[in-house]
C-alpha cells in the first residue's frame, strides 16, 4: 500500500508546499508566468486594446514588440485617436554597442534598428515627439505597461529578450514600511520606467535630433568647404541649390549652415525662390498647379537675378506672403556673399541648374511629407484642413512627376524624418 500512496503523498506535499508561494505571488500581483514573450503577447494585447489612459513600452529597439503585436502601428494610432497616451523609452543608439556584443550582432546593427523603428513610429503614427526618450544604457528588462497591468521580460546576456521568461502582473495596493507601493507592478514601474524616464540619463528625442543634426551640419560644412577649395574659379560667388519636398526642413538647414559658417566669420547669403511665384493660391488650385511646377514661377526673371548675383551684383529679391497666398508688392536688396544658398522647389530646374555650383536635396517619405505639409499649412499658412489635404495631394503628384527628377541631379541627398532628424543618404 505504501508503494501505491507514496507518489500521491509526494504530490500532495508539493501542492501544500506551493500554497504559501502562490498566496504570496498573488498578494504581490503575479498573474501568470510565460516561457517567452512570444507566448505572453496574445494575452497582453487584450489589455492594450482595453487601455484608455496610458501605455508605456520600455525596450531596446522596439523590433521584437512590433514583430509580436499584429498591426502594431495601427493599434498605437487607434489608441492615440482615443486620447490614450503612448510613451516609448528605448536605448540611446550611441550606448548600444555592449548590447550588440552580448547578442553577437554586427557593429551598428542594433544602432540602426533603433533609428529605423523610431522612423517607422513617426511615419505611421502621430505619436508626439516628446513621448519618445532614449536612455543612455540598455534596459535590464523590457516592459509593456498599462494603467493596471504589466508584462515584464527580463533581459539575458546572450540572446534576445523575447525568447525568455515573462511575468504578467497586476497592480496591487501593498505598502512597505515607508508607505510606498511595494507590489511587483509598482516596483518595476518606479525603478525600471518612471525613475529612468525622469532621470538625467533619459534624452528627449528632440534633443537627440538637435545633437545629431549638429554633427550632420559639421560634416556638410566640410564637404562644402572642400567643394569651394577645389573649385576652378576661386573668385566667383559660390551658389548652393537647396531643394526638396515642402516642409522638409530646407529653411532650417539653410539657417544652420549660416550659423556654422558665421562662427568662422564667413558670410553666407540666403535666397528663397518663392518670391518669383506669380500665381496666387486660388489660381494655382484652379489650374491644378503645385509649387513644384516651374510654370507658376517667373523663371526667366529668377534666372537673370541668379546670373547677376554670380557676377557679384546687388540684386532685388521679391517676397511672397504664404499666409495670404499672394506675392508681395515689395522686395529686398541682396548683396552677394562668398557662399549663397538658393532655397526652393525650383532651385534645380533646367534654366537655373547651369549656375548652381553644388546641389543639396532633402528627401522624405510620402507619409512624412503628408504629416508635415498638412500640419504646416494649417498652423502657419492659414489653410482649412480639407484645403491643406487637397494641396498636399496636388504637390504629391508633382513630387513624383517633377521634383524626383531634381533629386537625381543632386550632389548630396539628405534624408529627413518627421522629427526633422537629418541623415546623410547612402
Domain membership flag for residue 288: yes
Q: Are 215 and 223 in contact (CB under 8 A)?
A: no
User: Within this chain, do residues 88 and 68 fall inside the same structural domain, yes or no?
Assistant: yes
Does 402 lie in the same domain as 368? Answer: yes
State the total domains in the chain: 2
Q: Is 23 inside any structural domain?
A: no
Task: Say yes or no: 156 and 289 in one domain.
Answer: no
* Domain end position, chosen among 155, 181, 200: 200
pLDDT in tens, 227-262: 888 775 555 799 999 999 888 889 999 999 999 999
CA distances from 225 to 153, 237, 343 (A): 50, 13, 19
Please write the tens of the pLDDT for every residue from 43-85. Answer: 999 999 999 999 999 999 998 889 888 899 999 999 999 999 9
Domain identity same for 155 and 270: no
Kindly report the CATH number assigned to the domain that includes residue 214.
3.40.50.300
pLDDT, residue 270, reads: 96
Verify that 218 and 180 share a domain, yes or no: no
Q: Are residues 49 and 167 in the same domain?
A: yes
Give strand pairing partners of 240: 341, 358
Domain-located, residue 268 = yes
Give the distance, in angstroms, between the CA of residue 141 and the centroid of all CA atoms in the same chain.
Answer: 24
Length of the chain: 426
Residues in contact with 153: Cβ distance below 8 Å, sequence separation at least 6, in sequence order: 37, 40, 141, 142, 143, 161, 162, 164, 165, 166, 167
The set of residues, in sequence order, having a beta carbon less than 8 Å from that of 35 and lying 6+ positions away, is 165, 166
Regarding whether 254 and 180 lie in a shared domain, the answer is no
pLDDT tens, position by position, for the chain (426 residues)? 455 555 655 555 555 456 666 677 777 888 999 998 889 999 999 999 999 999 999 999 998 889 888 899 999 999 999 999 999 999 999 999 888 887 788 888 999 999 999 999 998 999 999 999 999 998 888 999 999 999 999 876 666 666 788 999 999 877 776 767 789 999 999 999 999 999 999 999 999 999 999 999 999 999 999 988 877 555 579 999 999 988 888 999 999 999 999 998 888 999 999 999 998 888 888 888 888 889 999 999 999 999 999 999 999 999 988 888 888 778 999 999 999 999 998 888 888 988 999 999 999 888 888 888 888 888 888 888 888 888 888 888 888 888 877 788 899 999 999 888 999 875
Query: What is the C-alpha separation between 249 and 418, in angstroms, rounded?
Result: 10
Nearest to 184 by CA among 216, 152, 159: 152
CA–CA gap between residue 274 and residue 296 (Å, rounded): 10
**CATH code assigned at 161:** 3.30.870.10
**Do the domain assignments include residue 381?**
yes
Torsion angle, alpha carbons of 85, 370, 249, 284, to 10: -140
Same domain for 295 and 275: yes
97 & 171 share domain: yes
Average pLDDT taken over every residue of the chain? 87
Task: Indicate if 219 and 349 belong to the same structural domain.
Answer: yes
Note the pLDDT tens digit of each residue in 397-406.
888 888 877 7
Return the C-alpha cell found at 129.
Answer: 515627439
Show the domain range for 54. Answer: 28-200
177, with CB counted inside 10 A (0-12, 13-18, 19+), is exposed
Q: Which three cell numbers stand for residue 49?
A: 486594446
The pTM of this model reads 0.83
Q: Is the dihedral of CA 66, 67, 69, 75 positive or negative?
A: positive
Q: Is the distance from CB of 270 to CB of 335 less than 8 angstroms?
A: no
Q: Are 203 and 132 in contact (CB under 8 A)?
A: no
My answer on whether 150 and 290 are in the same domain is no
What is the distance between the alpha carbons of residues 325 and 4, in angstroms, rounded to a whole number? 93
161 and 244 both lie in a single domain? no
CA distance 238 to 341: 9
Answer with the one of 156, 180, 200 that is the final residue of a domain.
Answer: 200
147 belongs to a structural domain: yes
Q: Does some domain include residue 244? A: yes
Which residue, of 200, 224, 247, is where some domain finishes? 200
Amino acid at each position: 500500500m505504501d508503494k501505491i500512496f507514496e507518489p500521491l503523498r509526494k504530490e500532495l506535499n508539493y501542492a501544500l508546499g506551493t500554497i504559501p508561494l502562490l498566496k504570496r505571488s498573488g498578494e504581490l500581483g503575479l498573474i501568470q508566468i510565460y516561457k517567452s514573450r512570444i507566448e505572453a503577447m496574445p494575452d497582453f494585447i487584450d489589455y492594450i486594446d482595453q487601455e484608455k489612459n496610458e501605455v508605456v513600452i520600455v525596450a531596446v529597439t522596439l523590433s521584437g514588440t512590433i514583430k509580436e503585436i499584429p498591426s502594431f502601428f495601427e493599434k498605437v494610432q487607434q489608441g492615440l485617436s482615443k486620447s490614450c497616451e503612448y510613451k516609448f523609452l528605448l536605448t540611446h543608439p550611441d550606448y548600444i554597442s555592449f548590447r550588440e556584443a552580448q547578442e553577437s550582432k554586427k557593429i551598428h546593427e542594433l544602432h540602426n534598428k533603433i533609428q529605423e523603428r523610431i522612423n517607422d513610429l513617426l511615419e505611421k503614427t502621430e505619436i508626439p515627439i516628446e513621448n519618445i526618450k532614449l536612455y543612455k544604457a540598455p534596459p535590464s528588462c523590457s516592459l509593456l505597461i498599462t494603467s493596471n497591468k504589466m508584462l515584464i521580460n527580463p533581459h539575458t546576456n546572450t540572446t534576445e529578450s523575447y525568447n525568455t521568461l515573462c511575468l504578467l502582473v497586476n497592480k496591487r495596493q501593498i505598502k512597505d514600511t515607508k508607505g510606498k507601493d511595494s507590489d511587483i507592478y509598482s516596483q518595476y514601474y518606479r525603478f525600471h520606467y518612471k525613475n529612468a524616464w525622469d532621470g538625467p540619463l533619459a534624452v528627449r528625442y528632440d534633443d537627440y535630433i538637435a545633437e545629431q543634426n549638429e554633427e550632420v551640419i559639421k560634416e556638410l560644412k566640410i564637404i562644402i568647404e572642400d567643394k569651394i577649395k577645389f573649385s576652378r574659379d576661386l573668385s566667383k560667388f559660390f551658389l548652393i541649390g537647396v531643394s526638396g519636398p515642402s516642409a522638409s526642413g530646407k529653411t532650417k538647414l539653410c539657417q544652420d549652415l549660416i550659423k556654422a559658417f558665421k562662427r568662422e566669420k564667413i558670410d553666407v547669403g540666403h535666397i528663397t525662390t518663392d518670391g518669383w511665384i506669380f500665381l496666387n493660391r486660388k489660381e494655382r488650385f484652379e489650374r491644378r498647379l503645385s509649387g513644384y511646377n516651374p510654370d507658376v514661377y517667373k523663371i526667366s526673371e529668377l534666372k537673370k537675378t541668379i546670373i547677376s548675383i554670380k557676377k557679384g551684383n546687388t540684386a532685388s529679391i521679391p517676397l511672397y506672403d504664404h499666409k495670404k497666398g499672394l506675392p508681395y508688392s515689395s522686395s529686398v536688396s541682396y548683396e552677394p556673399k562668398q557662399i549663397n544658398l538658393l532655397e526652393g522647389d525650383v532651385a534645380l530646374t533646367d534654366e537655373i541648374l547651369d549656375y548652381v555650383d553644388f546641389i543639396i536635396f532633402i528627401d522624405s517619405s510620402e507619409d512624412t511629407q503628408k504629416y508635415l505639409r498638412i500640419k504646416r499649412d494649417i498652423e502657419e499658412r492659414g489653410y482649412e484642413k480639407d484645403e491643406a489635404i487637397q494641396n498636399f495631394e496636388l504637390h504629391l503628384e508633382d513630387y513624383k512627376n517633377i521634383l524626383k527628377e531634381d533629386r537625381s541631379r543632386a550632389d548630396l541627398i539628405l534624408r529627413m524624418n518627421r522629427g526633422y532628424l537629418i541623415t546623410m543618404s547612402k
